[in-house]
Amino acid sequence: MERDVLLTMLFLIIPLFFLPILGSADPLYTFCPNDSRNYTHNSTFQNNLKQLLESLPSNTSVTGFYGTSIGDNPDTVYGQALCRGDVNSTVCQNCIQNASQEILTRCTSEDAMIWFELCQVRYSYQMFFSLMVYTGKYLDDQNNLELNVSDPVQFGNVLKYLLNNIANEAAFDPSKRMFATGEIKFSKEDTIYGLVQCTRDMSGGNCNSCLLSAIGDLETCCFFRQGGVVLSRNCNVKFEMNQFYNSSSLVLTYPYSKGAKWKTWMVVVVTCVPLLVLAILSGSCAVYHRRKKRAQPDDEKSQNALLHELARPTGVEITEDGELVPGSEDLHFMNLLTIRAATDDFSDSNKLGQGGFGTVYKGVLPDGKEVAVKRLSRRSWQGLQELKNEVILIAKLQHRNLVKLLGCGIEGEEKLLVYEFMPNRSLDFFIFGLFLPLSFLLAFIIFQIGHTNCL
């Protein structure tokens, strides 16, 4: 137990001894544009610059970030220094002092910047505080070996997930002071470590925008390597496969295990369900067309059989005493043209009413006799069945309480019944009201005495 604690303490303390060495190492990158304004030796600008650079180490070491200006226009010098968020004040001061000396030695431009592993220093003749102008720079001489992973694409996804999360934490968590680190497991053996940082004069939104742009540049250059870093004026992003910082970090887990299972399940469903639906629709269409082809000749056959059956009806009369006796009148078939002429081609002015299976029109035959014509529904099996029942029952039964069926007409889709016209009584009562209950009663009586052909 004590041994584990000791090892842990040594692990945390030993890097502190190496940080000063890192702080005095060679710079990562120096920005000294040749096409920019240059100051002259012993000029006012140079004297102001030296004074500014001398003030940066001690002031920056207090909080890790410092910005100031010295001199009057046109020789004003603006300066800013930033230490990495995981270093102590001593390491910070040493790194800024070294960076100030290096930039003064390397550059004569009035606008320059230098980056070290643990700090950065910038100066300019222009005021740049709180201004975010992103120009990322990834290092060409990183000498990182290609990462040997089984799934490079997935590695890039995991790395981006890590960097996006710690970027959001650095930008919008005030306690982080624009600095955040994190780690994430890529496999049982491999862990990715990341670091992001912004200058503290940035707003949270500008910091996040800067970091996302840097992550995009890092994705281009280094997402499949063992490490990479992108530097800019306002923010920096870095990752490695070994822990390179000395601070507590955000530990993340990439949610790809469950997602992969759901994706497989979704692929199966999305692929199979449409095929199943298509098979059902195809089968239904085939059955429908097959039945439709059968139904057409069946309809024609049923209509022909009905005509044959109605051609020679046997009349039946009901006496006042309720006895059934054979009748002598035959059912007359009428020409469709005759019925159309009688009803003025089924005009609305001759319409008397409408029932469940058709419409009734008043008509006048060529001999001047008034009739009521019931026009059954077209292309309806119910209309055909109703015609059969109505013709057989009323044509074979004559009674003073039954309206008289004079004839019928069947041509193509037209099914017509011609009744005597009852001017003093309601045709609706006889044709639509009285007929249905009475027809069922009479059918039952005839069935009982053996006249099954009436159904």
> Which residues make beta-bridge pairs with 407?
332, 418
Written as one letter, the residue type at 387 is L
Selection from 450, 452, 358 nearest residue 413 by Cα: 358
Rounded to whole angstroms, the Cα distance separating 151 from 339 reads: 85
Written as one letter, the residue type at 263 is K
Rounded to whole angstroms, the Cα distance separating 199 from 98 reads: 19
44-49-54 Cα angle (round to 5): 130
Joined together, the tokens standing for residue 440 give: 């069922």
Q: Please state the residue numbers annotated as binding site for ATP.
A: 374
C-alpha dihedral (278, 282, 287, 289), degrees to nearest 10: 140
Q: Which residues 6+ apart lie within 8 Å of 433 measured at CB?
A: 426
Rounded to whole angstroms, the Cα distance separating 180 from 295 reads: 78
- Separation in Å, CA 120 to CA 65, 113, 235, 376, 398: 10, 7, 10, 97, 117
DSSP string, 195-212: EEEE-TTS-HHHHHHHHH
Written as one letter, the residue type at 328 is S
Asked if 299 contacts 380 with a C-beta cutoff of 8 angstroms, the reply is: no
Selection from 23, 92, 11, 20 nearest residue 58 by Cα: 92
Q: Please state the residue numbers annotated as binding site.
A: 374
Q: Which residues 6+ apart lie within 8 Å of 18 measured at CB?
A: none
> Which residues make beta-bridge pairs with 419?
372, 405
Region label for 143, one of left (φ > 0), alpha (ψ between -120 and 50) or beta (otherwise): left
**Cα 272 vs. chain centroid, distance in angstroms?**
19
Rounded to whole angstroms, the Cα distance separating 67 from 328 reads: 124
